[in-house]
Chain A
Amino acid sequence: MTAGIDLGQPQAQSVRSDEDVVRVRQLVRAVAVASKLSLVDQTKVVTAASELARNTLVYGGGGSVEVTVVDNGRRKGVQIVFADSGPGIADLDLAMTDGYTSGGGLGLGLSGSRRLVDEFQIETSAETGTRITVTKWSR
């Protein structure tokens, strides 16, 4: 799986369909394996990517995902950026509440993803859409 992936470059994947969510998952797993994340951390970051990519598709109307290997001098990690140009999130605090959903899911995707990764940033507005950046560091 890791063959053919240039880790120096960010890997981009557009998200337009359910199949693309699967591709994002495979891409993140490949990069996580290459960054020497433990099996638990791989599974966590892959799951978080799956949640956020699906949010990009379902609520953002599709968008793009970029996966990069980052290095802070001491540890390596995986950074993933999810960007869409959808309607944005009106009430961020509410959206980040466990069990709240505007769609019909379990309402854990956004809040749960934050617990699955080490760093979680979210920028959202009605004009520019939503951009979520998450990072998972190796231990």
Chain B
Amino acid sequence: MALSTEESGRLAALLSGQDERVTTRWTEIVTSSLRGRLSQAELRRQVQDLHRAIVSTGEQGIIDLSADSAAELRAALSELSRGRARQGFSATETTVSIFALKDVLAELVQENGGPNALPDYVAFSKLVDEMGLFTFESFVRTRESLIADQAEQLLELSTPVVKLWEGVVAVPLVGTLDSARAQVVMERLLQTLVDTSSPYAIIDITGVPAVDTQVAQHILKTVVAARLMGADCIISGIRPQIAQTIVALGIEFGDIATKASLADALRHVLRLNGVETARRQPRRDA
């Protein structure tokens, strides 16, 4: 849906003829819909950028949003939607900045009149719709990239490998253990085993809500990999309901040591190392 050369020229002339009035009116309409969440000056600057982009594209000839000549216009639109998406505005609040132009154009076309008024307005209106959709698309793209970034950060956050004791590292697993996370856990654990030259690793699954065959398989693979590197793995945090589910499913952990709690697992490892833990008699001074 491109505007013809004549239509583009008329649009550019219409907008640039009264540029001060156009941008002021445009800013007013947008401001009222955003209820003061962006400063008037900033909105005005954005509107002026868009205005300039449309006029300069129109003066060059055909306005076709997908053509090379509209690169500047596209850049202005994406910059606007990127900014709004990052500032937490909704899709409506973002596209309204574009659709407000329709109101401005309606006023201008009505004043100018002429035989071309209606077809012109319909054509301009289509262009504005297209610009609105483009803005919406880039808004969604920005949001999606934000979500992807956050998912990645979550992946990093949720898989720490901690040192519990000299020669003992632990991985507290929390949440869903899918293939991507299992891979991260395995890499981190194996690397930490090398870095700290620890002979023992404890995998704690207290925070894993359901252990199905896929989760079990990931854990088993991690244990086997750790064993190949000479480290012993203990699985801890097996709650009663998880134990019963594992039995019913028929998963076998073989000769891998499993414990109900992380404390039990640590005690088990310490005992294997010949460290005795004893409770000291509380002192009774009184």
Question: Residues of A with Cβ closer than 8 Å to B?
Answer: 18, 22, 25, 29, 39-40, 42-44, 46-47, 50-51, 54, 98, 105-106, 108-109, 111-113, 115-116
Contacts and interface: CB of A to CB of B under 8 A. Distances in A.
A108 B176 contact: no
Interface string B195-219: 0000000000000011111101100
A40 B240 contact: yes
B272 interface: no
9 contacts: A40-B245, A43-B242, A44-B244, A51-B212, A51-B213, A51-B249, A109-B212, A116-B245, A116-B248
B interface, by DSSP: helix, strand, loop or mixed? helix
Contacts of A115: 248-250
B141 to A, nearest CB: 19
In order of increasing CB-CB distance, the 4 nearest A-B pairs are A112-B249, A43-B241, A50-B212, A40-B241
Nearest to B179: A18
B285 interface: no
A51 B216 CA distance: 12
- Of the candidates A39, A43, A116, the one having the most CB atoms from chain B within 10 angstroms of its own CB is A43
B71 interface: no
Contacts of A112: 213, 248-251
Interface of B: 176, 178-179, 209-214, 216-217, 240-242, 244-245, 248-251
B217 A105 contact: yes
Contacts of B178: 18, 22
Contacts of A108: 213, 249-251
Given A43-B241, A43-B242, A112-B251, A25 B210 contact: yes
A113 B214 CA distance: 13
Given A46-B209, A51-B213, A111 B250 contact: yes
Contacts of A40: 240-241, 244-245
Nearest to A51: B212
A76 to B, nearest CB: 19
Nearest to A18: B178
- Of the candidates B212, B241, B242, B249, the one having the most CB atoms from chain A within 10 angstroms of its own CB is B212
B248 A106 contact: no
A109 B250 CA distance: 9
A116 to B, nearest CB: 5
B250 A22 contact: no
A128 B134 CA distance: 41
